[in-house]
A = this chain, B = another copy of it.
Amino acid sequence: MKELDIKGKLAKKASSFIARMSSDGKRSALREIARLLEEKYETILNANSKDLAEAEKNNISGPLTDRLRLDIGRISSMAGGIRQIALLDDPVGEVLNMKRRPNGLLIGQVRVPIGVIGIIYEARPNVTADASGLCLMAGNAVLLRGGREAINSNIAIVGIINEALSASGVPAGAVQLVENTDRESALGMMKLNRYLDLLIPRGGGGLIRTVVENSTVPVVETGVGNCHAYVDRSADPVMAANIIINAKTQRPGVCNAIETLLVHRSIAGSFLPEICERLHRHKVEIRGDETVTGLVSSAVQATEEDWYTEYLDLKLAVRVVDSTDQAIEHINTYGSGHSETIITESYTNSQKFLAEVDSAAVYVNASTRFTDGFEFGFGAEIGISTQKLHARGPMGLRELTSTKYVIYGQGQVR
């Protein structure tokens, strides 16, 4: 894969320059990118209309076309996102845990950029700008491999980013797009250990599985969210209903929306008919276990498969459980380790749920929809990690860095 080799090498070279840029230098380069994206919006829209025409020709579905479509508002919010990243604290250079050892060595950890980050993503061209901004602000070079559907938009956006970077004195290679969008270029990225320090897939479950199964480059797995709400016996039913309606219906297509509702048996008879009626009014289809179908006439029978499914749609699996333990076991068995919430007034059960649910974000009495870099106060995010290594949960700038040990000596030997 010649393109990958050339661009990988260039990225590696550029990464050592970006790693040493001052915070101010990075901020002004990002502001220049934002300015130029807005100034050259017509270039982007022209390219985008080619992608849209191609999508229409290929009978691509409505939701995908919607994710693909750019307009002035979306370009402006892309630029706004980059300006916001330029305002964040620069994590690079932070010194952690510096201590003098008994032998006089002064040992500490310094936060440093990771190096070259590869991103494989699907149809949204806004990822091109977002991911570039985040990687740059954390001092990394980035190699982007977007989907075929957005190739013209991506070429235009990366072209503008590079124009801005060049005007800011940043060498070529800091932000590059892999223009070959066939399967081989994605697989090639997954084996590009020589140049890539980290690979982040952003997209649906299929993409993420392919990357995890094939990549020899270290991966941070993001995004698959089979999230749960558990309504405990002691829950405030009004609070529980509000949280469930919010977590399921406010934006059903995102990873932090709930896909399964668990309800304690002792309140199922009173709580379920009402909440299902409310969900029904929001056009949510209920797939329940036998107790649920017995209580709710509109519910259809759930299969084992439903407990594993991230619908990303107005569908909700519902199960009645006998205890907090059983709810936790269900979540740890079927969940994807993203976000789960318990609604309860029981101190003991809330602590048990927080301690024993093995997910990136575990809530008491709040909607799972808050699992998000902005809501967590990071200012931005590159994705939500559902793995346990390196970073877990929303990944902001800090999660795009590594550390190294620095040791100040006075001639010490062992």
Chain A residues with a Cβ under 8 A of chain B: 16, 20, 99, 101, 105, 107, 109-110, 112, 114-115, 193, 197-198, 212-216, 218-220, 236, 239, 242-243, 245-247, 250, 332, 341, 354-356, 358-367, 369-371, 375-377, 387-390, 392-393, 402-414
Contacts and interface: CB of A to CB of B under 8 A. Distances in A.
24 contacts: A16-B356, A20-B355, A99-B377, A105-B366, A105-B375, A107-B376, A110-B354, A220-B389, A245-B413, A246-B413, A250-B414, A341-B409, A360-B405, A361-B404, A362-B407, A363-B406, A363-B409, A366-B408, A366-B413, A367-B409, A369-B413, A375-B414, A392-B402, A393-B403
B198 A388 contact: yes
A361 B413 CA distance: 15
A407 B358 contact: no
A209 to B, nearest CB: 10
A302 to B, nearest CB: 23
Contact of A404 (B197, B214, B359, B389): B359
A33 B202 CA distance: 45
A246 B413 CA distance: 6
Given A20-B355, A250-B414, 17 more contacts: A101-B376, A101-B377, A105-B370, A107-B376, A114-B389, A197-B388, A197-B389, A236-B411, A243-B413, A245-B413, A246-B413, A250-B413, A354-B406, A363-B409, A364-B409, A367-B409, A389-B390
This protein's copies in its complex: 2
Given A107-B376, A356-B20, A365 B218 contact: no
B212 A406 contact: no
Nearest to A387: B218
A220 B110 CA distance: 20
Contacts of A115: 358, 388
